[in-house]
Amino acid sequence: MPTIGYWIKNLDDDQFLAPQEVAGKLAPDIAKRVVAYLCAGKLYAQYRGLSWCRFMHGCAKAFMGSSELTDGYWIWPEGLVHYVEVHRVALPEEFLADALNKLVTRNKTIELDSDIAFWVNWCSQNQDPVFRKQLLAARQTPPQEVQDALIAEINALQLKYGLSEQLCLCDGCRERALQSQVVCVKHFLGDERWERGWRSGFHSLLYDF
Ligand SMILES: [Zn+2]
Ligand SMILES: [Zn+2]
């Protein structure tokens, strides 16, 4: 039974996609039908940890669930319904055919590829080159002197301006703006400058992509 719907776990995970790489690819009417299908799954396994939405937009953790569901053939994490409903992620054609009740002759190799191998293979074929490039860049740690220079510059800027009570005006940024400036210290320095001087964390990579 093939398992689908697992996403990247950390910066060094090459096995799974970030859902950002395949977001917005299901038509809304199709997504709606797939959501109904996913919700009708039967409990397959219950786990302890709760999953979190990789889009970092503050989805309640509990909402993402901690169990796996099945239709008797496919297995998926409970949280997959959120990715389809809210982020309309693409899913393997073979699964969609079942979910949308299309009659297809199932590719025999899927049955042999039990468990996660089918999904891992699908992930490898659906990577977004721009995201992959950013992932590789995020893994690079710049030399210590580059980081030190950036920290010195940040400190100097914060000392010069101070932090205001306002949030940074850049899209989606949650940092406080510098006093008398409209942006945070990161955006004051410029994204590119920041990324080069800093190994961008996993969460900021997902947040920004
Ligand atoms: Zn979400
Ligand atoms: Zn900012």
What's at 158, amino acid-wise?
A: Q
Alpha-carbon distances of 6 from 30, 77, 171, rounded to whole Å: 20, 7, 28
Work out the number of other CB atoms within 10 angstroms of the CB of residue 11. 16
How far does residue 124's CA lie from ligand 1's centre (Å)? 22
Q: Are 67 and 46 in contact (CB under 8 A)?
A: yes
* pLDDT of amino acid 107: 60
How far does residue 134's CA lie from ligand 1's centre (Å)? 21
Q: Are 153 and 189 in contact (CB under 8 A)?
A: yes
pLDDT grade for 86, boundaries at 50, 70 and 90: very high
How far does residue 15's CA lie from ligand 2's centre (Å)? 31
CA distance 153 to 111: 56
pLDDT digits (tens, 9 = 90+) for 106-162: 665 555 555 899 999 999 999 999 999 989 888 877 777 778 888 898 999 999 999
How far does residue 196's CA lie from ligand 2's centre (Å)? 16
Give the chain's radius of gyration (CA, Å).
Answer: 21
> Whole-model pTM?
0.69
Q: Which ligand is nearest to the CA of 88?
A: 1
How far does residue 176's CA lie from ligand 2's centre (Å)? 7
- Mean per-residue pLDDT, 42-65: 78
Q: Which ligand is nearest to the CA of 63?
A: 1
Q: Where are the domains of the chain?
A: 19-127, 135-208
- Whether residue 35 is predicted with pLDDT greater than 80 in this model: the reply is yes
pLDDT digits (tens, 9 = 90+) for 170-197: 888 899 999 999 999 988 888 767 766 6
pLDDT grade for 105, boundaries at 50, 70 and 90: low
> Beta strand pairing status for 42-46 and 163-167?
unpaired
How far does residue 146's CA lie from ligand 1's centre (Å)? 35
- Whether residue 62 is predicted with pLDDT greater than 60 in this model: the reply is no
How far does residue 174's CA lie from ligand 2's centre (Å)? 7
Q: Are 204 and 187 in contact (CB under 8 A)?
A: no
Taking CB atoms within 8 Å and a gap of at least 24, the contacts of 106-110 are 110/2
Q: Which residues does 124 contact at the CB level (< 8 Å), separation at least 6?
A: none
* pLDDT of amino acid 196: 64
Q: Which ligand is nearest to the CA of 163?
A: 2
- Whether residue 63 is predicted with pLDDT greater than 70 in this model: the reply is no
CA distance 129 to 21: 9
CA distance 4 to 132: 20
